[in-house]
Each structure stands twice: as C-alpha cells, then as structure tokens.
Amino acid sequence: MPRIKLTEKETYRFKHEHIVKISNLNQAGHVGNAQMADLIHDGRITLLKSLGLNELNLGDGKTGIIMGDLVINFKSEIFYDDKILIESDIAEIEENSIRFCHRISKNGKTAAVAETGFVAFDYSQRKIAKIPEIFLQKLSQYNS
C-alpha cells in the first residue's frame, strides 16, 4: 500500500498536554482519524494563541488561514484517559501558505505524526492573501 511518510522534527516549540476524553474516541474505542484531526486542531490553536493570534487573524486584523491539506501517520493507538503530549511547530512558510507539523505522543513514544497545509485567506475579500509580516515577526520572537 503506498503511503505518505512524514518525518518527525527534532524539536517542536509549542506543546501542551491533553487527557483523552470519551468524545476523543471513535466507535472502535480509540482515537480515530476524525478525532486525531480534532487533536491536531487543538495543537494549532494552542500554537496560534501563544503568539496572541488565531485562525481568523494572523496579526493584521484581516488575514486568517484556511486548510489546504492534512496528512496523518498513525503509529500506535490512543485510548480513553491516556495522557498525551501534543507538540506543534511551523515547518515552512511561503508567500501565502504555512505548513504546520505535529507530533502526538504518549508515555514518551510517538503515537502519530501529522502535517497540515494552510493558505492565508482574507475573509472579508474572500480571496487568498499574503502571510502578514506581523505574523512572521511574532513567530521569530518565540523560542518556547
């Protein structure tokens, strides 16, 4: 079976812990693809919040982001009440796009690696925009 194989970063600047809840589980009783996408979303929101930003405002008051792609490599199962670490960072920035990378681990071992590609988007004009300079400045000042 062909697969997209992601590479883990050595370090991630943004981290937070999460206790897996019943709402994080699928019908098979573990974190599935939809629930993992939610956990990755939490990582992205935490990253942006630590910079004083959010998905609708990258610092200039008008530019947000919209998802272009998502890839998840599952390495082990995650169950109810597991304590997991969600690590996030930005792998690359282009003129109008950002790639977020994430590692989800439990007990010190990687359970999933994911990447999400986002396009900068001006929601008021409903069109693709450039990554604001203020976003780049805030990110460059963050050292964990």
Q: Determine the pLDDT at residue 144.
A: 52
Whole domain around residue 25: which residue ranges?
14-140
61 in a structural domain: yes
1 in a structural domain: no
**CATH number of the domain residue 86 falls in:** 3.10.129.10
Number of domains in the chain: 1
9 in a structural domain: no
The torsion region of residue 79 among left (phi > 0), alpha (psi -120 to 50) and beta comes to beta
Paired tokens of 39: 């956990």
Full-model pTM: 0.92
State whether residue 91 is helix, strand or coil.
strand
Strands 127-128 and 63-74 come out as unpaired
8 in a structural domain: no
114 in a structural domain: yes
Paired tokens of 3: 């697969």
Q: Can you tell me the distance from the alpha carbon of 83 to that of 18, in angstroms, rounded to the nearest whole number? A: 6
Paired tokens of 69: 């792609």
Q: Determine the pLDDT at residue 111.
A: 98
Query: Which tens digit of pLDDT belongs to each residue from 24-74?
Result: 999 999 999 999 999 999 999 999 999 999 999 999 999 999 999 999 999
